[in-house]
Structure 1
Amino acid sequence: MRGPMCASNGDALVACVSAGLGIIYEPDFIVADAVRGGQLDVLTLDAPPAELGDIHLLYAPDRTPPAKVRVMIDFLVRAFDGTAPWTMKPV
């Protein structure tokens, strides 16, 4: 998809689309507030959405990660357990 506006910032794209400048294809978490607030509508795609893949955490195998890294790993595992609270349903 191409158009007159190009940005690498989801908030900027949401602002443009909210102002009536077109449509965007963005992850739910970027558009969730605007959808809930009624500024944007969710469209049904004629193809499945792109699969973004997994999140990987890497650290040296010969070292135990510091406590703060272990806490972050545990947090991310809980936060991304597959039940994203921002998932939108098409209209």
Structure 2
Amino acid sequence: MTPSRHAPVPSLPRWPIPEVPLEGKIQSIDASRRSFVVGGQTLLTNASTHYDDGLETFADLKPGMKVKEDHSQRGDRRFAREGELDD
């Protein structure tokens, strides 16, 4: 067996996949699912979601607010990781 000339390729994490932050106005909120829509994308929240810039909880989110949301994706679902008001 001959030695390989190529260095091994490190494996990449399969999940969650980090996404580019979503920025825009909250279009709608579904309190029963603890989710909201920004830029046509539904973001789910959970106990790990952090809020900044005067937002403290999911209840502080309102339609029409301009936000910036860091999120991750698992399958076809997006999870809000950190949200803040956007200027």
Q: TM-score, normalised by structure 1?
A: 0.21
More strand by proportion, 1 or 2? 2
More helix by proportion, 1 or 2? 1
